[in-house]
Chain A
């Protein structure tokens, strides 16, 4: 898969994208690996100390009263409720879907979550349970979580998920190829998967815990966006370090700059290790003050999480009632 270095790429066209775009938006045409390398190399570096200081400063924002309530409901609507275990069963997915549709059984006004996120073999079952609801089915594919498989296997993985009715595909990039500097290979893989997906939302997982540096996170973000990603996602949740606030900050700066440069809005999904409502609200503040409030929709930002949802519900009820309820007030799924 080294098309980049040999022949011009087929570009992702405007119509393939899930978000309706302004008429004058355009992706730069990537004709060669050298050009791609030049584009990524021209990106500004990230000063790690400064980025972490900025994230820490934003984390001191204090959301109160109606802002807090609105933010909690917004966060609930942005959750990709996730189960990615070897022990997953149709029964487990059924109860997860029920939770996704009606997160709080006693409060019908609580919004549904954005999506349920499962392995490809459970997509069909989730699709059936969710029926015609607004909750999407997202499938992790392309040899998730390591991505260590041939392209043929990855393509088949995605095809099966799409055939089973997935609305969204969460693919992983080949971190080994990226770290070895084979940007063209990573680019081609994302382009190929996006072609398969068509109008189906494609989230590209960078696995920031393996990219290690913020410079790499920014380059990988731009690479994925240039290749046609609808979302860029921090992590699989399967390595030691997952989403962090400064990493999300760097990715949000990238999507903001990409939108300015191309007219294309790409979303950001943070995943792994986000368990408390307090953390979730901090991410929303970073979204608001970096990419802007127009990213504060389930099309612009997502949380990949499972236990986060119940803390959001508990904090929400606390805001309404003025006191905490027992954790067992909420279903454990």
Chain B
């Protein structure tokens, strides 16, 4: 923060005019693309059932594309209800004949193998994830893939220690888990679902998202490499009808779903009054609360990470910035300057900060809500970055002067759009942060620990970060309250979702 006696900002303008005449000029970065040659997709993928890739009964398939270029990467099978039935029966057979007979240490052996294989094939997986999802290679390389491996390593450690997890002397598995995962962190969400389920002794039927099935199919190859007994994990690709069939299948003992609140609500209705266990990890409208004594430079980076990480396709994104009114102008000025520096473009370029929007449908929704933000009277700042001609792109955007009543302050946009609101006192900050139907994550920025704790105790959210945002670790439980869902993933708590604890 500048001293209070600082002169006006016009001085700064003069300085930049003066300095742009520097003789060596601006450093712009030449393209530094990661080679896509490391990964070879098959032309077409079948369903991974009982340890083998098999054709779907209907022979239906659909294309998965690279959202940055709109080119087709591969065709994948569309699993029908009868394919789901075959997969669930395979999982049941594997549970009864093999997996439930193994000791925890033996299950751990497979999980460790999978973790090591993910590490060995990390570059390939990172490139595949970036191609199929549109996220920057820096993130798939430094976040998604290492964390996926870390989850398998972490839960491998629990597999032979379940009696010490606090769920009774001899906790038992549920049986067959049906798992439906979203498109924003395809491989990582597969790891979040599979690792605790397998460690706890369940077998799985996993359904990846329609637009991002490829890393789950590479993971299927890894499961083969790891010699995982057939049927322990089955991966079935498809669309909403496939997921629906999995949810309704009577042979499934547990449904774990990560995705939108709308679909989560439907699933809960369908699972109600059945024997099935359910955990839901749904949407969010996370508040990042900034007090005037926050460490300013790190706070700006935290806001940026909070909303522009993974193009804002993050359920726990800090999509609402609540900033103390006394520093609001300074924070907004710094924020807009920083947003303009974000490098948007080719996701395979190692210097790209913000990649492509995952699908045309998602882009349409972001465009609609952003347009509504302007219509509601918020002040829009959009990055001046140049967007590529092909593919699905949205320039990082900040809305200032947002009111609690605006749609962009209430609805999950799931894109690189930040809504900035102000508050005057800690009470008001808490009230505004909690004034949402969601409750997944919040951030608190202050150098004063007592205030951070005071605020954190009053926030209704599953995850609260202090002086950071969007940090994930397999040892830490993650999940929401209210319309953000229930159940926890990660940590000791994540085992509860896959154990018979009643």
Residues on A lying within 8 angstroms of B by beta carbon are 20-26, 28-29, 39, 42-47, 49-51, 53-54, 60-68, 70-71, 74, 77, 222, 250, 253, 257-265, 284-285, 288-289, 292-297, 299-300
B14 adjacent to A261 (CB under 8 Å): no
Whether A24 and B14, one on each chain, are in contact in the complex, defined by CB atoms closer than 8 angstroms, is yes
Kindly list chain A residues whose C-beta atoms are within 8 Å of the C-beta of B169.
Answer: none
Q: Is B27 a contact of A24 with CB atoms below 8 Å?
A: no
Most central of B11, B23, B296, B297 by chain A CB within 10 Å: B297
Kindly report which residue of chain B lies nearest to residue A26, judged by CB atoms.
B7
Chain A CB within 8 A of B341 CB:
yes
Residues of A contacting B2 in the complex (Cβ-Cβ under 8 angstroms): 257-258, 260-261
Other-chain residue from A49, A61, A261, A289 in contact with B6 (beta carbon distance below 8 A): A261
Please tell me which one of the listed residues B3, B4, B25, B302 contacts residue A50 in the complex, with CB atoms under 8 A apart. Answer: B302
Pull 20 A–B residue pairs with CB atoms less than 8 Å apart, ordered by A.
Answer: A23-B14, A24-B14, A25-B11, A25-B14, A44-B295, A45-B295, A49-B298, A60-B138, A60-B350, A67-B29, A70-B27, A257-B1, A261-B6, A263-B14, A265-B18, A293-B25, A293-B27, A294-B20, A296-B22, A297-B24
Please pick, from B5, B25, B32, B295, the residue contacting A28 in the complex, using a CB distance under 8 A. Answer: B5
Q: Find the A residue at minimum CB distance from B32.
A: A62
Q: Are A50 and B24 in contact (CB under 8 A)?
A: no
Seen from chain B, the residues whose Cβ lies within 8 Å of a Cβ on chain A are 1-7, 9-12, 14-20, 22-32, 138, 142, 293-299, 301-302, 341, 350-351, 447, 467-468
Would A294 and B12 be within 8 Å (CB), given that A26-B7, A71-B27 are in contact? no
**CB-nearest residue of chain A relative to B11?**
A263
| Cα distance A323–B327 in the bound complex, in angstroms | 53
Contact residues in A for B350 (Cβ distance below 8 Å) = 60-62
* Smallest CB separation, A251 vs chain B (Å): 12
Residue of B nearest to A289 (CB): B341
Which residues of chain B come closer than 8 Å to A66, judged between CB atoms?
30
With contacts A28-B5, A297-B23 known, is A44 near B297, CB below 8 A?
A: yes
Closest CB of chain A to B19's CB: distance in Å?
3
Q: Which of A51, A70, A74, A294 contacts B297 (CB 8 A)?
A: A51
Q: Contacts A25-B11, A28-B5, A47-B467 hold; do A296 and B294 have CB atoms under 8 A apart? A: no
Which residues in A have their C-beta under 8 angstroms from that of B351?
61-62
**CA–CA, A249 and B41, complex, Å:** 41
Does B142 contact A60, Cβ atoms closer than 8 Å?
yes
Q: Is the CB of A288 within 8 A of B12?
A: no
Contact of A296 among B16, B27, B468 (CB under 8 A): B27
Given A28-B3, A71-B27: 15 more A-B contacts, CB < 8 Å: A25-B11, A25-B14, A44-B295, A44-B297, A49-B468, A53-B468, A62-B32, A70-B24, A74-B24, A258-B2, A260-B9, A261-B12, A262-B6, A265-B19, A299-B22
Q: Give A24 Cβ to nearest chain B Cβ, in Å.
A: 5
**Set B6, B29, B302: member contacting A63, Cβ < 8 A:** B29
B297 touching A24, Cβ below 8 Å:
no
Question: In the assembled complex, how far is the CB of residue B182 from the closest CB belonging to chain A, in whole angstroms?
Answer: 25
Measured between beta carbons, the chain A residues less than 8 angstroms from B28 are 67
Other-chain contact of B467, A50, A60, A62, A292 (Cβ < 8 Å):
A50
- Assess the A296–B12 pair: CB atoms within 8 A: no
Residue of A nearest to B448 (CB): A45
List A contacts of B6 (CB < 8 A). Answer: 28, 260-262
Q: Which residues of B contact A77 (CB under 8 A)?
A: 24
With a cutoff of 8 Å between Cβ atoms, the chain A residues found around residue B138 in the complex are 60
Asked if residues A22 and B18 are in contact (CB atoms below 8 Å), the reply is yes
With A70-B27, A297-B24 given, is the CB distance from A25 to B3 under 8 Å?
no
In the complex, chain B residues whose CB is within 8 Å of the CB of A295: 19
In contact, A263 and B7 (Cβ under 8 angstroms): yes
Residues of A near B31 (CB, < 8 A) are: 64
Q: A244 to nearest B CB, angstroms? A: 16
In the assembly, what is the distance between CA of A22 and CA of B17, in Å? 9
Known interface pairs A44-B294, A62-B350. Does A49 touch B15 (Cβ–Cβ under 8 Å)? no
> Are the CB atoms of A61 and B20 closer together than 8 Å?
no
Shortest Cβ distance from residue A71 to the other chain B in the assembled complex, whole angstroms: 6
A126 to chain B, nearest CB (A): 25
How far is A249 from B343 in the complex, measured between Cα atoms in Å?
19
Shortest CB-to-CB span from B332 to chain A, Å, is: 14
B298 and A25 contacting across the interface, CB-CB below 8 Å: no
Residue of A nearest to B3 (CB): A39
Are A297 and B27 in touch, CB under 8 angstroms? no
Given contacts A263-B15, A294-B20, contact A46 B297 (CB under 8 A): yes
Q: With A and B bound together, what is the CA distance between A25 and B302 in angstroms?
A: 32
What are the 5 closest A-B residue pairs judged by CB atoms, nearest first? Answer: A50-B298, A294-B19, A263-B11, A261-B6, A22-B14
Once the chains are docked, how many angstroms separate the CA of A250 from the CA of B299?
Answer: 13
Closest residue of chain B to A29 (Cβ to Cβ) is B5
Which residues from B are CB-within-8-Å of A25? 7, 11, 14-15
Cross-chain contact A50 with B15 (CB below 8 angstroms): no
A53 to B302, CA, bound (A): 10
Asked whether, in the complex, the Cβ of B22 is within 8 Å of the Cβ of A297, the reply is yes
Which of A45, A260, A263, A265 sits near B293, CB closer than 8 Å? Answer: A45
A260-B27 contact given A22-B18, A28-B6, A62-B32, CB 8 Å threshold = no
**What A residues does B10 contact at CB under 8 A?**
24
Tell me the complex Cα distance, A28–B19, Å.
22
Tell me the complex Cα distance, A23–B14, Å.
Answer: 9
Given the complex, which residues of B lie within 8 Å of A39, measured CB to CB? Answer: 3-5
CA distance A26 to B5 in the complex (A): 10
Which among B10, B11, B294 has the greatest number of chain A C-beta atoms within 10 A? Answer: B11
Report the nearest A residue to B469, measured CB to CB: A50
- Minimum CB–CB distance for B152 against chain A, Å: 24
A45 contacts which chain B residues (CB < 8 A)? 293, 295, 447
Chain B residues closer than 8 Å to A44, beta-carbon distance: 1, 293-297
Q: How far is the CA of A44 from the CA of B222 in the complex (A)?
A: 48
Residues of A within 8 A of B30 (CB): 63-68
Residues of A within 8 A of B7 (CB): 24-26, 261-263
Whether the Cβ atoms of A22 and B15 lie closer than 8 Å is yes
Does A22 contact B302, Cβ atoms closer than 8 Å?
no
Given contacts A28-B3, A54-B301, A293-B26, contact A260 B294 (CB under 8 A): no
- Minimum CB–CB distance from A119 to chain B (whole Å) comes to 30
Kindly provide the distance from the CB of B450 to the nearest chain A CB, expressed in whole angstroms: 15
- Among residues of B, the one whose C-beta sits closest to the C-beta of A52 is B298
Which chain B positions have C-beta within 8 A of A49?
298, 467-468
Residue of A nearest to B9 (CB): A260
Are A46 and B20 also in contact (CB < 8 A) when A259-B15, A262-B7 are?
A: no
Cα-based distance from A23 to B10 in the complex (angstroms): 11
On chain B, the residues within 8 Å of A23 by CB distance are 14
The answer to whether B11 touches A265 (Cβ under 8 A) is no
Asked if B295 contacts A46 (CB within 8 A), the reply is: yes
Most buried by B among A64, A253, A262, A263: A263
Measured CB to CB, the closest approach of chain A to B466, in angstroms, equals 10
A42 to B4, CA, bound (A): 8
Q: Indicate if the CB atoms of B32 and A63 lie closer than 8 Å.
A: yes
Residues of A within 8 A of B14 (CB): 22-25, 263
CA distance A28 to B4 in the complex (A): 9
Which chain A residues border B447 with CB–CB below 8 Å?
A: 45, 47
**B468 — which chain A residues lie within 8 A by C-beta?**
47, 49-50, 53
Q: What CA separation (Å) do A257 and B2 show in the bound complex?
A: 6
Min Cβ gap A22→B in Å is 4
Complex Cα spacing A219 to B231, Å: 62
